[in-house]
Amino acid sequence: MAVKGRPYYGRGAARKTTSWTLVLSMLVMLSLLIVILLSLGILSIPSRKDSSKAHDLSHLAHNSLHSGGGDEESKDQWVEVISWEPRASVFHNFLSKEECEYLISIAQPHMEKSTVVDSDTGKSKDSRVRTSSGTFLARGRDKIIRNIEKKIADFTFLPVEHGEGLQVLHYEVGQKYEPHYDYFLDEFNTQNGGQRIATVLMYLSDVEEGGETVFPAAKGNISSVPWWNELSECGKGGLSVKPKMGDALLFWSMKPDATLDPSSLHGGCPVIKGNKWSSTKWIRVHEYKA
Ligand SMILES: *[C@@H]1O[C@H](CO)[C@@H](O)[C@H](O)[C@H]1NC(C)=O
């Protein structure tokens, strides 16, 4: 069959071959032109909408514009690493003024004298090391709380489901929380959700004097913080963060290798002048069944 078909390529084939060569070379030149245009960025390969979104940073600007509780009055937000041992950073203006006031208003009617966890029985007990009053707000309680919990998850990269309910605390003049660890050294308290891995401490009010969060075991030059001269005597006993309404302090009770970090030892300095309102989110290694 192939032999029989051969004569068809006889005389006319020569002309056919040249026109085919012409078409082919034109195709080659066209693709070369496309390659050149692509490399110059004049042409671009269309990509699917979702895949281009992954590298589009404009949504970050969009997010920061609309964060802060949806009110137009949103202040400058930035994150500052304050220490690597313990790992700690401050997210400035994390909560809006409205969110702070909301948390205080729903917590205020339910404030009770704070307790600490008894490491033998796992139960709450009265204590002199913690003289504040406080209350727990159920996780996902309402829209504003859910929004705050979503922001915490975004900030920490830890899922909302790993968080305990928010605790709101109130310290009056002279009230404090002696240095302690947020992680547990007993079996009982880690049954639900495992160990506490990180803590987000949000300041709901400014404090005129005192009330700093202090890390007495932090490594590094503690006096190099810009607010050193404004710190109380207690505050100068370690690396300190001055309470500022809306700011959130994130610190990790576990190192990246998942061992406990003793440098996360921290306390609340006595309030000297004014009032201190704060809210704490403890986050577990696993899902915390609320
Ligand atoms: C710590 O920081 C302060 C302020 O920046 C500086 O004056 C002091 O010399 C530093 N101390 C050490 C031991 O580096």
DSSP assignment, residue 116? Answer: E
In a domain, 242, yes or no: yes
Ligand 1 center from residue 223 Cα (angstroms): 6
The pLDDT, as a whole number, for residue 63 is 45
My answer on whether 36 and 144 are in the same domain is: no
Are 163 and 250 members of one domain?
A: yes
pLDDT of the residue at 15: 65
Beta bridge partners of 77: none
**Residue 46: inside a domain, yes or no?**
no
Look at residue 126 in the predicted model and tell me its pLDDT. Answer: 64
Q: Whose CA is nearest to atom 14 of ligand 1?
A: 221
**Does the beta carbon of 221 lie inside 6 Å of ligand 1?**
yes
For residues 211 and 167, what is the distance between their CA atoms, to the nearest angstrom?
17
- Same domain as 205, residue 157: yes
Q: Are both 169 and 136 inside the same structural domain?
A: yes
* Residue found under tokens 């577990």: 284
Q: Examine the domain organization and report whether 111 and 200 are in the same domain.
A: yes
172 lies in some domain: yes
Element (H, E) at 153: helix 143-156
Ligand 1: atom nearest CA of 221 is: 1
Cα 229 to ligand 1 centre (Å): 13
Ligand 1 touching residue 229 (CB < 6 A): no
Q: Does residue 90 sit within a domain? A: yes
**28 and 148 share one domain:** no
Q: Residues 214, 249: contact at Cβ < 8 Å? A: no
Tell me what pLDDT residue 91 has: 98
**Nearest CA, atom 6, ligand 1:** 224
- Return all residues near 95 (Cβ < 8 A) that are at least 6 apart: 68, 69, 103, 148, 202, 204, 246, 248
Same-domain status, 8 and 67: no
Calculate how far, in angstroms, residue 145's C-alpha sits from the geometric centre of ligand 1.
41
| pLDDT of res. 59 | 40
- Of residues 269, 186, 287, the one with CA closest to residue 232: 269
CA–centroid distance, residue 211 to ligand 1 (Å): 24
Instruction: Check pocket membership of 223 for ligand 1, CB cut-off 6 A.
Output: yes
Residue 289 lies in a domain: no
**18 and 154 inside one domain:** no
Residues 16, 123, single domain; the answer is no
CA 6 vs CA 2, 3, 11: distances in Å: 6, 5, 11
Tell me, yes or no, whether 47 lies in a domain: no
Cα(284)–Cα(159) distance, rounded to whole angstroms? 9
Q: Which helix (H) or strand (E) holds 155?
A: helix 143-156
Q: Which two tokens stand for residue 37?
A: 């245009």
Residue with tokens 């404030």: 111
The answer on 216 and 97 residing in a single domain is: yes
Q: Number of structural domains, the chain?
A: 2
Q: What are phi and psi of 9, to 5 degrees?
A: -85, 15
Residue nearest atom 4 in ligand 1 by C-alpha distance: 224
Q: Are residues 16 and 61 in the same domain?
A: no
Is the CB of residue 224 below 6 angstroms from any atom belonging to ligand 1? yes
Cβ(228) – ligand 1 distance below 6 Å: no
CA-derived radius of gyration, the chain: 31
Is 290 inside any structural domain?
no
Range of the domain at 11: 2-40
Mutate to test the pocket of ligand 1, among 83, 219, 223 (most ligand atoms within 8 A of CB): 223
Structural domain includes residue 136:
yes
Examine the domain organization and report whether 83 and 144 are in the same domain: yes
* DSSP character string of 182-238: SS--SSGGGTTT-SEEEEEEEE-S--SEE--EEETT--S-GGGSTTGGG--TTGGGS
CATH of residue 215's domain is 2.60.120.620
**Digits of tens for pLDDT over the chain (290 positions)?**
444 545 555 555 566 677 888 889 899 999 888 887 777 766 666 555 444 454 444 444 444 444 444 444 568 999 999 999 999 999 999 999 999 999 999 999 999 987 777 766 666 766 677 878 999 999 999 999 999 999 999 999 999 999 999 999 999 999 999 999 999 999 999 999 999 999 999 999 999 999 999 999 999 999 999 999 999 999 999 999 999 999 999 999 999 999 999 999 999 999 999 999 999 999 999 999 98
